[in-house]
Amino acid sequence: MKYVDEYRDGKLAANVAQEIRRIQTKPWVIMEVCGGQTHSIVKHGIDYLLPEGIELVHGPGCPVCVTPLEMIDKAHAIARRPDVIFCSFGDMLRVPGSDGDLFTIKSQGGDVRIVYSPLDCLKIARANPDKQVVFFAIGFETTAPANAMLVYSAKQQGAKNVSVLVSHVLVPPAIAAILGSPQNRVQAFLGPGHVCAVMGYSEYEPLSRQFHVPIVITGFEPLDLLQGILIAVQQLESGRAEVENQYSRVLDRGGNKSAQELVFSVFQIGDRKWRGVGMIPASGYHLRPEFAEHDGELRFEVAQIDTRESEICISGEILKGNKKPHDCPAFGKQCDPQHPLGATMVSAEGACAAYYTYGRHLKPEPDELKLTSISSAGAA
């Protein structure tokens, strides 16, 4: 498939991996920020192609994972209401709150729908004028334009029965929080390609300078990731710390200006709590006051919700790159995607769930696979 197969070429991958091996002289810890990158690394086994001294740690960039439990409980309380059609991206449905997940609520009669585009909510609202349509607007900067477009259009069209429950978070403040932590181990970052397709990467430059850390804006296919790692190792080995753009086929320094304008016409920056990490100042989006009539949190009175997180779960340490899923005593035992104890297991792109989905709870390091006998009879 065009634009996919080229970036999954085994020979090219081996070449890039070889080049990484050739130039690497010291051990380095590199964090991929985005959950989509974690997923791709584990799915394609990219970490197994790297020399031993290169350690990949998995960052906080899974928006479903870092959505606070209180917010999920709030969403569930709204979704249970008989007058509500609750719309969400698919992977939010299995995230458990204090009492079940959205699938459970659906099985109990709640009207919960998966949408692929937030704008679908407008169609649903028009078809159901006697219902309140609520969209769970979560995500990083990547989903912000589409979510902003829903709010903007709802106001324009006077769609009074549309509201959003906003839990938007931002990447640069999270990187700053990780780098500012005294336990920090991360020496370079693979920056989030999709986020930067919207926002550009100029806002990463001060971070790179302040903490003297290489940040390589990277795509999601195997070769993107390997090349991103190679660029990061080149910088680390030569003592440089810059923002470099591996994903230049998609984005440039300025990003998508019209998307940014839309986002800032609807949202403003404010503090946000991150599941597993805690409060990070100025790390998320909130609706601007002029869109208050579409704010689901204001529209539905939801009583104060008390939540308790598991005491064994180490997801906070995993999100900061200090630990890996296998360091957790509960990983694959008390904690699996069916019974997640914390942030990194709740969504497919969380590090623990990705490790679990790709069978790494069964064995940490797969042995050498011998496939020579079937290679000749392979594809027709």
Contact residues for another protein, defined by CB under 8 A = 1, 4, 8-10, 13-14, 17, 36, 42-49, 63-64, 89-94, 103-104, 106-108, 114, 116, 138-140, 142-143, 194, 222-223, 226, 332-333, 336-338, 348-349, 356-363, 366-367, 369-371, 373-375, 377-380
Question: Residue 301 CB, nearest distance to another protein (Å)?
Answer: 27
Question: Residue 158 CB, nearest distance to another protein (Å)?
Answer: 25
Rounded Cα distance, 286 and 137, in Å: 10
Question: Residue 93 CB, nearest distance to another protein (Å)?
Answer: 6
Q: SS3 sequence, the chain? A: CCCCHHHHCHHHHHHHHHHHHHHCCCCEEEEEEEHHHHHHHHHHCHHHHCCCCEEEEEEEECHHHHCCHHHHHHHHHHHCCCCEEEEECHHHCCCCCCCCCHHHHHHCCCEEEECCCCCHHHHHHHHCCCCEEEEEEEECCCCHHHHHHHHHHHHHHCCCCEEEEEEEECHHHHHHHHHHCCCCCCCEEEEEHHHHHHHCCHHHHHHHHHHCCCEEEECCCHHHHHHHHHHHHHHHHHCCCCEEECCCCCCCCCCCHHHHHHHHHHEEEEEEEECCCEEEEEEEEEECHHHHHHEHHHHCCCCCCCCCCCCCCCHHHHHCCCCCHHHCCCECCCEECCECCCHHHHCCCCHHHHHHHCCCCCCCCCCCCCCHHHHCCCCC
Question: Residue 84 CB, nearest distance to another protein (Å)?
Answer: 19
CB nearer to another protein: give 80 or 360.
360
CB nearer to another protein: give 166 or 213.
166
Question: Residue 192 CB, nearest distance to another protein (Å)?
Answer: 10
CB nearer to another protein: give 175 or 346.
346
Question: Residue 226 CB, nearest distance to another protein (Å)?
Answer: 8
End-to-end C-alpha distance for the chain, whole angstroms = 16
CB nearer to another protein: give 258 or 375.
375
Question: Residue 169 CB, nearest distance to another protein (Å)?
Answer: 12
CB nearer to another protein: give 16 or 77.
16
Structure tokens at 332: 């694959």
Question: Residue 129 CB, nearest distance to another protein (Å)?
Answer: 20
CB nearer to another protein: give 214 or 276.
276
Question: Residue 123 CB, nearest distance to another protein (Å)?
Answer: 10
Rounded Cα distance, 60 and 154, in Å: 31
CB nearer to another protein: give 23 or 114.
114
Distances (CA, A) of 52 to 27, 28, 331, 349: 8, 10, 23, 24
CB nearer to another protein: give 295 or 349.
349
CB nearer to another protein: give 130 or 365.
365
